[in-house]
Amino acid sequence: MNTNKLIIAGIFSLITISTMNAQKKPHLDKKKPIEERIDLLMKQMTLEEKVGQMNQYNGFWEVTGPVPKEGNAELKYKHLRDGWVGSMLSVRGVKEVKAVQKIAVEETRLGIPLIIGFDVIHGYKTLSPIPLAEAASWDMEAIKKSAQVAADEASAVGINWTFGPNVDVSHDARWGRVMEGAGEDAYLGSKVAIARVTGFQGDTRADLAKINTIAACAKHFAAYGFAEAGRDYNTVDISNSRLYNEVLPPFHAAAEAGVRTFMNSFNILNGIPATGNSFLQRDILKGKWNFDGFVVSDWASVREMIAHGFAKDGAEATQKAVIAGSDMDMESYLYVVELANLVKSGKVKEALVDDAVRRILRVKFELGLFDDPYKNCDEKREKATIGSKANNAGVLDMAKKSIVLLKNAPSPLGRAGEGILPLQKSGQKIALIGALANDKNSPLGSWRIASDDNTAVSVLEGMQQYKGNQLTFEKGADLTVGKTAFVDELVFNTTDKSGFDAAKKVAASADVVVMVLGEHGFQSGEGRSRTNLDLPGVQQELLEEIYKVNSNIVLVLNNGRPLALPWAATHIPAIVEAWHLGTQTGNAVAQVLYGDYNPSGKLPISFPRNVGQCPIYYNNYSTGRPTNGEGNVFWSHYTDVEKTPQFPFGFGLSYTTFDYKNLKINKTAFAKGESVVVSVDVTNSGNYDGKEVVQLYIHDDAASLARPVKELKGFELINLKKGETKTVTLTLTDKELGFYDNDGNYLVEPGTFKIMVGGSSDKGLESGFELK
C-alpha cells in the first residue's frame, strides 16, 4: 500500500472511531447544538459526578511522576479518577496537562475533560507590563494584543482558562493589588476590561474553540478594591451609589464582551461574603445581566465564610455558597465533601446543582474540549511559541506604550527651552545608579508564576545598547537584604550606605545621572499592602545625596503602585514612571530615555503627595464646602498639604507639546436620546512627532444624586506629526450622560452639564450644554 492510501486509510479509521464514540456517547456528536449535548451528558451523570464538575483542585502532584500513595494527595487523585474533579489549576506544560487530562478523559466513567486554569495575569512566560502599567497606555488595541500574546503562550502549554482580567476599581495605593487592575476609573476600566477579555478569548464566542485562545475570568466580584485602609482581604463597606456607578461597570462591560467566567471576591458586602452573596451572583450577574457562564470562588473563599462568621461549618458554607450562585469551589474541598449530602437531605435543591454544572459544561463545550481534549497539548507548538521573537516584540511594544513621563523640566542639557530628556546619543558621560538598574528579576513584577527568574532585560543592559556615550554603573545601595520566612516577603536595606560614596563619585563627574529607584517587583500584589508609599529602604537618602553633587538627574521609577514623591517632584528635573514592565523592561526604558520612542502614557491612577491623602481619586465629590470662599479655616482641605494629588489621573507628558483650541459642541440644548457631538482642535506645537490622549470629562450640575466633580466619558489616542493639527470628535450619548440610582436603575435626567476636554483630568478647555 502506498503512502497516500495509508493516509486515506488512517483518516477513514479516525472518522470511524469518532462515529462510534458519538454513537456510544451521543454528547460527543459535533453536529448537535451545545445545549442538546449538555442535556444528553447530564442525563448520564450521577449526583456525585455533577458535584465533581463543581470541584477544582490545585495541582497536587507531578502528574508524570509517581502516583500519590498517601495523605490528601492520594484522596485528590482518587477523586480525579472517579470523575469528581471538574477543573485543575496550576498544572502547566504539555506533558503534565496531557497526563492529567488523559486520566479524566480515558479513565473516568463519562470521560468529561478538565478545564485547566492558571493565573495568566500579564503574560505566561514572556511577560508584558503589569496590568496597571498597561492601562497607562490608554491604547486598547495594544492591551488587546498583549492579552493575545499571553493567551498564545498559555494555550501552547495546555492551559485553557486564565483567572483574569482583574477589573477591580480602586482608589487606594496602599492596596497591593492595584497593580493587577486598570486603576481608579470605571469608564477607563470598562474599556480595558473589554480589550483584555477579547484579547484572551477572541472577538466572538466561536473563537474560544481556536487553538490560541483561552477563557477569561472577570474578577473579583465585587468591590474588593475598596478594602478599608487598603489592607488586603479587609472589610468593604460602600454605598449602593458607589457600587453601581464605580464598582460594577467594568464587570458589566466584561460580561457584555462575552467573558465566560467570573470569580467572586474575598470581602464582605453589606455584611455578606461575596462568595455567599445572592444579590451579587444571582440577582445582578445571572439575573439582570443574563450571564450564562460560570462563577468560580477565589482560593478557599467558600471555607473562609466560616472565618467571616457567616457560616458555622463547612456544610453551611457549602449550602450558602451554592444557593448564592457560586458554581465552582476552588480549593476549599467542601463541595466534593458536603454538597451531595446537602442535596439528599433537601437543604440544597438539585436544580441549583444542575444549573451550575450546565454552566461549567457549556464553557467546556465552547472551548472545544469535548471535541479534542488534547487541543492544547502539542509539544512542537509549545516549543515554538514560548519566548518567540514575535511575542517578545509584542511585549516590548506594550512596555514602551505604558511608560509615563511625569516631569521634564527645562535643562541646559536639552534643546533650547526643552527638558533633560531625551538624552543625547553621543558625547555625554552618564552615571547609572540604583540597584534596580541592574536587576533582571524585579522588573518582571508580581504575578509571574510561570516566568523564569532573572529573565528581564535590565535597564543597564538596555542602555548599553546605545554605544555613543560613556556609561558607568553603581548600585549605590542594595534595595533588599533578604526574605522573611514567608514566600517573597522582602526585608529592605535600611542601614547599609557603604555604596553611597562610589555612587556620588561617578555622579559628580557625569553630565547626566540616571537613577532607577522604586519598589521591588514582589512589593506589590496580593497580600502586599503598605502604609508607607515612600521609596523603600535607603533610596530616598541616596537620591538626595546624589542630588547634592549633580542635580542633572533623570529619575526612573520601577513600581507597582503610585508612590508618594514630594521631594523628587520638587527637586528632580526629569521623572519617568516605568512601572514593572516585564521581560523587555530595559529595552523599553532605554528607547524612551534616548528618544527612539516618544512617551505617550497617561496615569490611570492618581499619585498622592503623601500616604495621608489616601484614598485619593480625581472623580471626587464637591462637598458642601469645596473652596475657601469665607476666608477661614472651615472648608474641606488639609492644613499641612494641598488636597490635590501630586500627579493626577490622566496626566502624562511628551517630548513634544500639544495645544487645544476651538472646543465646540454641535448644539447648546439637546433632547434625551440625542447625541452630543464635541469637537476640539489639537496641534502638535513642539519639536517631535508624538501621540496624545485627548480626554473628555463631564459634570452633571444638579441631579437627584450628587455627582462627582468630573467623570471621564470619552477619550481618543491620536498621532500628530510635528506642527500637525487634527480635529478630534467625541460623542456623548445617554450611555455616558446617565448614572445609576441606589436601586440600580439607570437614570438620564434633564439639566445642565459642564464638559472639559484636555490632556489630563486637572486642566482643559471648558464648555457646557443643556439636556431637556
To which residue does cell 493516509 refer? 7
Residue 233 C-alpha from the chain's centroid: 18
Cell of 323: 444557593
How many Cα neighbours within 13 Å face the side chain of 769? 22
Contact 524, 178 (CB under 8 A): yes
Q: For residue 422, what are the CA distances in angstroms to 492, 570, 642? A: 32, 20, 31
Contact 418, 587 (CB under 8 A): no
Length of the chain, in residues? 772
The closest alpha carbon to 746, from 409, 328, 234, 241, belongs to 241
Q: Residue 543 burial by CB count (10 A; 0-12/13-18/19+): exposed, middle or buried?
A: buried
Contact 609, 565 (CB under 8 A): no
Give the strand pairing for 470-474 and 429-433. parallel
**How many CB atoms are closer than 10 A to CB 766?**
13
Alpha helix locations (H) across 136-246?
140-156, 186-201, 240-242
E runs forming strands in 37-155: 55-58, 87-89, 115-118
Cell of 665: 459642541
E runs forming strands in 409-534: 429-433, 470-474, 480-483, 490-492, 512-518
Helix, strand, coil percentages for the chain (3-state, nearest 5): 35, 20, 45
Contact 362, 88 (CB under 8 A): no
Cα 317 from Cα 323, distance rounded (Å): 10
Check if 298 is active-site.
Answer: yes
Which residue of the set 139, 172, 298, 397 is catalytic?
Answer: 298
Cα 115 from Cα 439, distance rounded (Å): 36
Cα 363 from Cα 379, distance rounded (Å): 24
Helix, coil or strand: residue 424 = coil
To which residue does cell 445609576 refer? 740
| Phi, psi for residue 632 in degrees, rounded to 5 | -135, -170
Cα 266 from Cα 275, distance rounded (Å): 7
The closest alpha carbon to 266, from 306, 296, 221, 229, belongs to 221
Cα 367 from Cα 361, distance rounded (Å): 10
Please give the full DSSP string across 248-279, using - where no structure is assigned.
Answer: HHHHHHHHHTT--EEEE-SSEETTEEGGG-HI
Active site residues: 298
